[in-house]
Amino acid sequence: MKDTYQHKELRRKLVEALRKKGIEDQAVLDVMMKLPRHFFMEKAFEELAYEDKAFPIGSDQTISQPLTVAIQTSLLEVKNREKVLEIGTGSGYQAALLGLLGARVYTLERHRALYQQAKQLLERLKLGNIRCFHRDGFKGLPEFAPFDKIIVTAGAEEVPEVLSRQLKIGGKMVIPVGKGVQEMLVITRTGENTFERDEKGSFRFVPFLKGLE
């Protein structure tokens, strides 16, 4: 895996473009500058890795548009050593960014091929604070709950209560919800049975599906 001067320059331009599109979280911009996105994409798309677009990664899944990744990561407000559950490992790019932000990441992927690929890549990158699981995201990871933060990288038709219940009180979940087009929700657990939700704009994600493949 090579990260050339040209890659770094393309990454710098992408980060500047994200800043102009309204991303103000400097910590998020810094880790996006540091992490080579092309490592997480097929060779055929390598030259396009620093365009602000989603691309296919196999198993009918995509690596999300960088702007979407930056927005979700900023909304999560990750702090060092926080325990973060990610639903939908995909390429592993989002998990790697969370790991670079200092989170202890638990990431779930329902597609075995993607799980194995992402796990191997994250190990090669020596991101030891990320644990990968081949699991059904709808069930979360109860044996490691509660979590400070949860991020869902697929579009759910409704908020899965099982996931909400795996948040710490004061914890926060960022999840796109809706059919076709989703509304990005930030859900904060305010008490044992109370949650607040804020709407943060419309997005389009692959669907959040149950079961394993």
Active centre residues (catalytic): 64
Take residue 55 and report the two structure tokens written for it.
Answer: 């691309």
In sequence order, the β-bridge partners of residue 64 are none
**d(C-alpha 39, C-alpha 56), whole Å:** 14
Instruction: Give the Cα separation of 95 and 100 in Å (integer).
Output: 9
Cα distance between residue 143 and residue 65, in whole Å: 31
Q: How far is CA 101 from CA 61, 64, 128, 157, in A?
A: 25, 18, 13, 29
Q: Which amino acid is residue 181, in one-letter code? A: V
Distances (CA, A) of 109 to 26, 43, 50, 99, 137: 28, 22, 24, 17, 7
